[in-house]
Structure 1
Amino acid sequence: MKIFKYGEDSQQYCQLFRPDNKQIVPVLIVIHGGYWKDSHSLDSYATKRIVEYFADKGIAVWNVEYRRMNAFGDNHSAPWPTSLLDVAMAVDYLKTIERSEYLDLENITIVGHSAGGHLATWCASRKNINKESPLYHNDPLKIKHAISISGVVDLRRSEDLGQPEQVTKLLSGNNFQIASRLRDSNPLELLDSKVNYHFLHGTEDEEVSINQLSSIEQNSNILIDRLKGKDHFNFFPGFTSDLRCWNKITDLIQSTLT
């Protein structure tokens, strides 16, 4: 495993896992969740199980850390648009190491859980961000597949969340600012017809309600799996003894990278 810094802050880094050879390999980008707050990290969050599983499966795994909001009180550590810009910078940094690390940037899948599902889906959709936005980039890394697990994919429906105040904290601003920031950071308003999206969500999720998917229509590049009886973390080993959903996720990810 190698560590790469994409910025000067201690939280602006990624872990790269890849085979010990010079074969060009596809890339899996993993974004952890935790309500965009600093109470979790890439080493503590459930998505580390995805990283561990695929670390020796013959692909490159890019495990992203980013600056996150204060868990308590006002958000001084990651004011708008810090977290989103960090994830975008971390993903685009792959261009810098494409040749030295033998990466196939034509074959990229990004996956995230909960708030990480928001960031993953948003990052795959950056091409459609308003050009006047501070989040706009004229040449974002192209992502082929985006997978959201229990994701916060519709920020306008903050009432679906167990902690709706975190959306307000993430966007932080006056009414006019929040309106424009929603437009530029809400995945469902940015979906790219050239990206393949897959949304997986448990019907019994009380932390991020499955109603987050109510405005999405399944079509040729959008697939939706509503998983009966599953809650927010039922997808990961250690949170359930039923590994069918975990197997579904690993099979899905593997299928996108072959």
Structure 2
Amino acid sequence: MTEPAVLLRKPVPPQASLHYGGHPDQVVDLWFPPDDRGAPIVVLLHGGFWRQAYDRRHLSGLAAYLSARGAVAASVEYRRVGGAGGWPATFDDVAWAVDAAPSLVGDACRHADRSRVTLLGHSAGGHLALWAAARHRLLTTSRWHRPDPPAVASVVAVAPVADLVLADRLGLSDHAVAALLGGGQRSGGEDSDQVRRTGRIAEADPVGLLPTGIPTTLVHGAADTIVPVALSERFAAAARRAGDQTDLVILDGVDHFEPIDPATAAADAVARAVLGAR
């Protein structure tokens, strides 16, 4: 299969990079708008099915695109499966980064509006964005529980792995959910890996943590063959039943990667979801 253009394109260098931890992957890249006075903050979480082979660089074009439209873009790296990540390190990093982002960005760009933070995630990063916005819904015994909602005004999840139970059942990307949660591939019967994953899915699946009380938009291409649009449809339906303000934007004829490629019209739909008419 030919790699999508957005994965082959030369990354756009950030204007600054800051660390939120001591590991080399615990870093946030920043792009600043021409005028930062009152600029909203967009925290980007990249996809790649949580695997080490895919990093934040393929979102650099989208980050630069959003900064040119008036936002401070903060693209988060996190430890991933196959490297130092997986369960629980990937979730540790996302929790730390999202909590730290407003102050990190504020220190680097003091006129940014810390009250206007949007989490923007693509694919596996969409899952992580939805999860990070729901940490106040975790049991108090969870290492990631926070007593109040995160300082996030909205979430935009693009082609997200929004339903881990369904994604695991479908075995998406060679059983990526099992790899993330520390289990082996499904064999069709109950085994120790699957039993162990049951509790972890409950803690990691955004569907089970609804409602969040945070306005959420899901953007998904109807022609996505990597993450089926059914995952977004199921999440949106569950969120609305729970009482959350949730919009679902389905883009006809659009695949998995077009929405994060600034060279496409689909990326404009994402920018509108994040920034409105700005």
CA distance in 2, matches of 1:78, 1:8: 14
Report the CA distance shift for 1:154/1:54 in structure 2 as closer, same or farther (over 3 A): same
Identify the residue that residue 249 of structure 1 maps to in structure 2: 270
CA distance in 1, matches of 2:18, 2:95: 15
RMSD after superposition: 2.4
Report the CA distance shift for 1:185/1:162 in structure 2 as closer, same or farther (over 3 A): closer
Report the CA distance shift for 1:51/1:15 in structure 2 as closer, same or farther (over 3 A): same
Q: What amino acid does structure 2 have at the position aligned with 1:246?
A: A
TM-score when normalising by structure 2:
0.80
1:31 to 2:45 alignment: yes
Report the CA distance shift for 1:161/1:104 in structure 2 as closer, same or farther (over 3 A): farther
Identify the residue that residue 60 of structure 2 maps to in structure 1: 48
TM-score when normalising by structure 1:
0.85
1:13 to 2:22 alignment: no
Structure 1 runs, 4 residues or longer, greater than 4 Å off? 19-22
Does the 8 Å contact 1:160/1:209 carry over to 2?
no
Does the 8 Å contact 2:106/2:114 carry over to 1?
no
Pick the structure with more helix per residue.
2
Superposed displacement of residue 22, structure 1: 7.1
Among candidates 98, 104, 122, match of residue 97 of structure 1: 104
Superposed displacement of residue 12, structure 1: 0.5
Does the 8 Å contact 1:81/1:135 carry over to 2?
no
Identify the residue that residue 73 of structure 1 maps to in structure 2: none
Q: Which runs of 5+ in 2 are unaligned?
A: 1-14, 184-192
1:82 to 2:89 alignment: yes
Query: What percent of counterpart residues are identical?
Result: 25
Q: Which runs of 5+ in 1 are unaligned?
A: 71-75
Identify the residue that residue 258 of structure 2 maps to in structure 1: 234
Among candidates 179, 195, 203, match of residue 214 of structure 2: 195
Deviates more, 1:105-114 or 1:160-169: 160-169
What secondary structure does 1:133 align onto? coil
Does the 8 Å contact 1:26/1:105 carry over to 2?
yes
What secondary structure does 2:42 align onto? strand
Superposed displacement of residue 151, structure 1: 0.7
Identify the residue that residue 67 of structure 1 maps to in structure 2: 79
Q: Deviations over 1:106-139 (max 9, x none)?
A: 1111111111111111111211111112222335
Aligned length in residues: 247
Superposed displacement of residue 18, structure 1: 2.4
Superposed displacement of residue 57, structure 1: 3.1
Identify the residue that residue 229 of structure 2 maps to in structure 1: 210
Report the CA distance shift for 1:212/1:114 in structure 2 as closer, same or farther (over 3 A): same
Superposed displacement of residue 24, structure 1: 4.1
1:115 to 2:124 alignment: yes
Does the 8 Å contact 2:134/2:149 carry over to 1?
no
Identify the residue that residue 169 of structure 1 maps to in structure 2: 179
What secondary structure does 2:28 align onto? strand
What secondary structure does 1:51 align onto? helix
CA distance in 2, matches of 1:226, 1:123: 23
- Superposition pairs for residues 118-137 of structure 1, below 5 Å? 118-137=127-146
